């Protein structure tokens, strides 16, 4: 590090366990980029000041996580059409003082899926219409038929303006749409830190592709049940890696080594980062 070192950061609350610093620092090292990536814990009431700080200090780029993904939009100079559509930013580029917001959650999830299966023309059932569910549904609806089921049905129905069918997360709907779907995605927080799943294992069948965006634990109950049922499974760490890779590409123009990102993220997970 020297006087030329660029600073990138993730902002959120909580953020201390983020795997983004290990992934991006490994990439900066690999590509010989004089930059460092750190985590800043920012409380909601400090967000405006934090963005003024980004401008004043010339922070080169940001990742944005909970709870700031929507609120940050009002402090930026521009946002991408995708970010505008779903009111969510998870990546910021500082382009000579102009702060531009993007979202890579949806593309990250799509690229993670595309690593294992064909997305175009498929039928996708997404559980959850929170921040991540909405971003994934919006992105996949450009390529596939998408149905979103959510505990609070109004949030799923609000996605109908994107050509997405939204409904309540009931057992009746779940049974019906799992049979209809080629790909099932858990985009709720159910399964995070707990051995629980929204999907009864009897509903899982061979040939179904099952993705869980929860990555702590990396093998959730849903993924274990899906493996046993003969489904192809995609864990949430792949989405984390690909959304990070998309951010890195926006900052540097480099298509990064996703295997390296996954390796260091797995190490970070094991160390309890
Ligand atoms: P969020 O905006 O708070 O949304 C949470 C979602 O989970 C909502 O749809 C919520 O339904 C649903 N939910 C929570 N508890 C539920 C329950 N008991 N039964 C049914 N539905 C329930 O959170 P988010 O940002 O979308 O994140 C969701 C999860 O994805 C988190 O675990 C997060 O760590 C993970 N994530 C992973 C990645 C990745 O790269 N792998 C990226 C982003 C997020 P209601 O609307 O009814 O409350």
Residue 163 has which token pair?
């050509």
CA gap 227, 188 in Å, rounded:
19
Q: Do 23 and 49 share a structural domain?
A: yes
Q: 224 CB contacts (<8 Å, ≥6 apart)?
A: none
Q: Do 217 and 265 share a domain, yes or no?
A: no
DSSP assigned state of 271: T
pLDDT for 194: 92
Task: Say which CATH number the domain at 23 has.
Answer: 3.40.50.10860
Distance CA 209, CA 230 (A): 9
Pocket flag, ligand 1, residue 104 (CB < 6 Å): no
Please name the residue whose Cα sits nearest to atom 16 of ligand 1.
Answer: 190
Does residue 238 line the site of ligand 1, with CB under 6 A?
no
**pTM of the prediction?**
0.96
Structure tokens at 188: 């709720």
Residues 162 and 97 in one domain: no
Residue 217, domain extent: 106-234
Do 138 and 182 sit in the same domain of this protein?
yes
Q: Whole-angstrom Cα distance, residue 101 to residue 234?
A: 28
* 1 lies in some domain: no
Q: What is the pLDDT tens value at each position of the chain, 273 positions in all?
A: 999 999 999 999 999 999 999 999 999 999 999 999 999 999 999 999 999 999 999 999 999 999 999 999 999 999 999 999 999 999 999 999 999 999 999 999 999 999 999 999 999 999 999 999 999 999 999 999 999 999 999 999 999 999 999 999 999 999 999 999 999 999 999 999 999 999 999 999 999 999 999 999 999 999 999 999 999 999 999 999 999 999 999 999 999 999 999 999 999 999 875
69 is catalytic: yes
Q: Which residue has the tokens 């009746």?
A: 172
- How would you classify the pairing of strands 145-150 and 123-127? parallel
Please tell me the distance between residue 188's alpha carbon and the centre of ligand 1 in angstroms.
3
204 in the same domain as 190: yes
Query: What does DSSP say about strands 61-64 and 35-41: parallel, antiparallel, or unpaired?
Result: unpaired
Residues 137 and 217 grouped into a single domain: yes
Considering only CA atoms, which residue is closest to atom 46 of ligand 1?
A: 152
Using a 10 angstrom Cβ sphere, with 0-12 exposed, 13-18 middle and 19 or more buried, the burial of residue 51 is: buried
- Options 30, 69, 165, 194, the catalytic residue: 69
Distance from residue 129's CA to the centre of ligand 1 (Å): 8
- Count the domains in the chain: 2
**Phi–psi pair at 203, nearest 5 degrees:** -85, -10
Structure tokens at 76: 């930026």
Same domain, 225 and 253: no
- CATH label of the domain that carries residue 160: 3.40.50.720
DSSP secondary structure letters along 178-226? HHH-SEEEE-SSTTSSSS--SS-GGG--TT-EEEE---SSSS-HHHHHH
The position carrying tokens 């994934």 is 136
């Amino acid at each position: 590090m020297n006087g030329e070192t660029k600073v990138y950061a993730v902002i959120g609350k909580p953020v201390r366990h983020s795997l983004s610093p290990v992934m991006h620092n490994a990439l900066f090292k690999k590509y010989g980029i004089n930059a460092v990536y750190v985590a800043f814990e920012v409380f909601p009431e400090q967000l405006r000041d934090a963005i003024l700080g980004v401008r004043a200090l010339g922070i080169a780029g940001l990742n944005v996580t909970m709870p700031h993904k929507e609120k940050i939009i009002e402090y930026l100079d521009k946002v991408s059409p995708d970010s505008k559509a779903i009111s969510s930013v998870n990546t910021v580029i500082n382009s000579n003082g102009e702060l531009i917001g993007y979202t890579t959650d949806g593309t990250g999830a799509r690229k993670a899926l595309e690593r294992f299966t064909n997305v175009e023309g498929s039928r996708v059932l997404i559980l959850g219409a929170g921040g991540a569910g909405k971003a994934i549904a919006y992105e996949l609806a450009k390529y596939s038929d998408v149905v979103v089921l959510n505990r609070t049905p109004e949030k799923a129905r609000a996605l109908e303006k994107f050509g997405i069918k939204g409904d309540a997360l009931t057992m009746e709907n779940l049974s019906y749409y799992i049979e209809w779907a080629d790909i099932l995605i858990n985009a709720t927080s159910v399964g995070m830190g707990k051995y629980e799943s929204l999907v009864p294992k009897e509903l899982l069948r061979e040939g179904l592709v099952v993705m869980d965006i929860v990555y702590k634990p990396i093998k959730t109950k849903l993924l274990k049940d899906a493996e046993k049922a003969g489904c192809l499974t995609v864990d949430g760490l792949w989405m984390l890696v690909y959304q990070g890779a998309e951010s890195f590409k926006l900052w540097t123009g480099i298509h990064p080594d996703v295997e390296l990102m996954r390796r260091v993220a797995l190490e970070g997970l094991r160390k309890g980062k």
